[in-house]
Structure 1
Amino acid sequence: MAATTYRRAAGDDEAAPVGRFSLRTLPDQIAEELGADIVSGRRKAGERLVELDLARDFGVSRGPIREAIRILERRRLVELNPRRGAYVKPLSLKSVADLFNVRTALSMLAVRTMATSPIESFVETLARRCDELNAGVEIDDPLSFARTTTRAVRTIARGSGNELLVELLADLANQTVWTTIWKSPLDYQTRKIRRQSADLMASTLRAIRQRRPNAAETHYRELLEGDRDRALATLSRMRGEAIDFNGIAAAESAGVVGRSSRPSGRAAVQP
């Protein structure tokens, strides 16, 4: 594991890493690094996470390590046994695909609802997110583009006016592997893909403004399913593990997450 540089903030008992994540808590940062190792396959299923060894590697006390392990347990990446310790849980690409599919299903409800009765303040916010995505097309920063896309997805969820839906999507982000898998650039790695994604989000916005829920869902589904397939393909290469895209398509055809846009390109848009 590469050494991490820390700095101690005034009045803090623990150091905070130097860099762009310095505003996050120390356990959060450690959990993200350990989680990224698990997602990428650098830490294998069944491997024990020894607090003393990790504290030495990260240059911190055992307290932040213990809390980081609890965070990973909530994200279903680690199994914590009070008498046996913490062990890395198996993480299949199918389980990651399931997470994408559930997120997509909830997002389809959100976008249809928002397009049926648009709330102007959220429409304006989504327009700003689309401008940010458009600007990000020419910038070779996949992670920044992914974060902006996530903010746009969150805006559509909030724009639905469905508070339970917003909470469920937040739980998916905070209590699953979702945040961790995006620590590495999994998508938006070429200008062409960024352009396509920005255009699909802009088309979704246009359909919302026009109160065309079917069209909004079509564009939005193509965007989110494209994100899923590219991210899974990248994870497959990172982990050296095959992913059964036919299995995902079978789930879609059964109505689990709806139609796939992957095999045939852009789906026909209905008013």
Structure 2
Amino acid sequence: MRAPTSRGDDDSERKFAARTIPDQVADELGAEIVAGRRKAGERLVELDLARDFGVSRGPIREAIRILERRRLVELLPRRGAYVRPLSLKSIADLFNVRMALSLLAVRAMATSPIESYVETLARRCAELDELVETGDPMAFARVTTRAVKTVARGSGNELLVELLTDLANQTVWTTIWKSPLDYQTPDLRRAAADLMVTTLEAIKRRDPIAAVASHGRLLEGDRDRALASLSQLRGEAFDLRAISQPDARPAPDDIVRVG
């Protein structure tokens, strides 16, 4: 894994990484698991999947290994591949861990800003502004993710960058954003873009408390709207308050009901 450099410019990342056939199959199959269209315990038969996707068994086998790394599939010796249980609570846990690491990063970046990363974050904010009216939800989500990555790199904490990268690449996180779960309207996109700008301004003036507050509001909103969308897709209800306050008694409006 490459350590962050002082350039602070993640424009060197390829906008569209080459996607192999196993990658594409893993993304589509993973999206079915996340949406609840494939249930926990369901066996994934290579021959059937090869027929359904119109490919040979080799890419299917590799796609299943990818999904195993993302903790969506369990491979059992001499028994095959099975869909692992995936609850909204476990997805919420992933959001919360990512948010905790990201807030640690933004606090560090605002304490000792590195100009090159500040400049990169400013470009990300400009991209978000352009996408408020014209962008689709997926494009906006991708740029938001890149902005959060910029903050992680701007923290100067290599371990934080590694942990956040691993969360993105080795968990269900890679899969849940294959469908538009958030930023469905210009108003939502405007609110998120403004929060990112507020975070940038707090970083520039070396105000870690304000940076954490605005960045936290952005990430909490992302989490709550994505989980609400997933609850609809999966037909499951969940308690919004329990996501971050497990011991709190939920108010009626904090329960997302389905059906």
TM-score by length of 2: 0.88
Residues 97-133 of structure 1, C-alpha deviation per residue, up to 9 Å, x if partnerless?
Answer: 0000000000011000000000000000000000000
Answer yes or no: is 1:187 the counterpart of 2:182: yes
Identity across aligned pairs (percent)? 75
CA contact (8 A) 2:125 2:193 kept: yes
Paired residue for 2:196, among 170, 181, 201?
201
Give the match for residue 208 of structure 2: 213
Could you say what secondary structure the match of 1:137 adopts?
helix
Task: Using the TM superposition, give the Cα deviation of residue 36 of structure 1 relative to its aligned residue in structure 2, in angstroms.
Answer: 0.2
Over 3 Å counting, the alpha-carbon distance change for 1:225 and 1:47 in structure 2 is same
CA distance in structure 1 between the partners assigned to 2:153 and 2:244 by the alignment: 29
* Aligned-pair CA distance for 1:22: 8.5
Give the C-alpha shift of residue 249 in structure 1: 3.4
Q: Which amino acid aligns with 1:223?
A: L
Decide which of 80, 85, 94 is 1:90's aligned counterpart. Answer: 85
Among 12, 17, 21, the alignment partner of 1:26 is 21
> For structure 1, which runs of at least 5 residues remain unmatched after alignment?
1-19, 254-261, 264-271
Please state how far the C-alpha of 1:250 moved relative to its aligned partner.
1.3
Residues 171 and 121 of structure 1: is their aligned pair in 2 closer, same or farther, counting only changes over 3 Å?
Answer: same
- Say which SS state the counterpart of residue 140 (structure 2) adopts: helix
The count of aligned residue pairs is: 236
What stretches of structure 2 of length at least 5 have no aligned partner?
Answer: 1-14, 255-259
Q: Distance in 2 between matches of 1:67 and 1:167?
A: 24
Amino acid at match of 1:171: D
Partner of 2:161: 166
Letter in 2 for 1:94: K
Match of 1:51 in 2: 46
Paired residues of 2:33 and 2:83 also in contact (CA < 8 A): yes
The CA deviation at 1:198 is 0.1
**How many Å apart are 1:217 and its aligned residue?**
0.3
Distance of aligned partners of 1:21 and 1:238 in 2 relative to their CA distance in 1, 3 Å threshold: farther
**Shift in Å, 1:31:** 0.4
**1:25: Cα distance to partner?**
1.5
Root-mean-square deviation (CA, aligned residues, Å) is 1.7
Matched with 1:99 is 94
* Distance in structure 1 (CA, Å) of the matches to 2:100 and 2:77: 36
Of structures 1 and 2, the one scoring higher in RCO (CA 8 A, sep 6+) is 2
SS at match of 1:138: helix
- Change in CA separation of 1:148 and 1:53 when aligned onto 2, cut-off 3 Å: same
Distance, in Å, in 2 between the alignment partners of 1:246 and 1:59 is: 44
Could you tell me which residue of structure 2 aligns to residue 67 of structure 1? 62
Normalising to structure 1: TM-score of the pair? 0.84
User: Which sits farther off after the overlay, 48-57 or 195-204?
Assistant: 48-57
Tell me the residue number matched to 2:141.
146
Q: If each structure's helix is expressed as a fraction of its own residues, which one has the higher value?
A: 2
SS in 2 for 1:44: coil
> Per the alignment, do residues 229 and 31 of structure 1 end up closer, same or farther by CA in structure 2, a change over 3 Å counting?
same
- CA 1:140–1:121: 2 relative to 1, 3 Å: closer
Separation in 1 of the partners of 2:52 and 2:127? 38
Pick which of 134-143 and 221-230 moved more: 134-143
Q: Please state how far the C-alpha of 1:65 moved relative to its aligned partner.
A: 0.5
- Aligned with residue 35 of structure 1, among 30, 51, 74: 30
- Matched-pair contact (CA < 8 Å) for 2:96–2:244: no
Matched residue, 2:233: 238
**1:189 partner amino acid:** Q
- In the TM superposition, residue 251 of structure 1 has moved relative to its aligned partner by 4.1
Paired with 1:115 and 1:136, the residues of 2 have a C-alpha distance of 26
Residue by residue over 1:162-197, the C-alpha shift from the partner in whole angstroms, topping out at 9 and shown as x without a partner, is 111000000000000001000000000011110000
- Per-residue deviation, residues 12-38 of structure 1 (Å, max 9, x unmatched): xxxxxxxx9782111111100000000
Change (3 A) 1:21 1:33: farther
Q: 1:94 & 1:210 partners in 2: Cα distance?
A: 37
Report the Cα offset of residue 243 of structure 1: 1.2
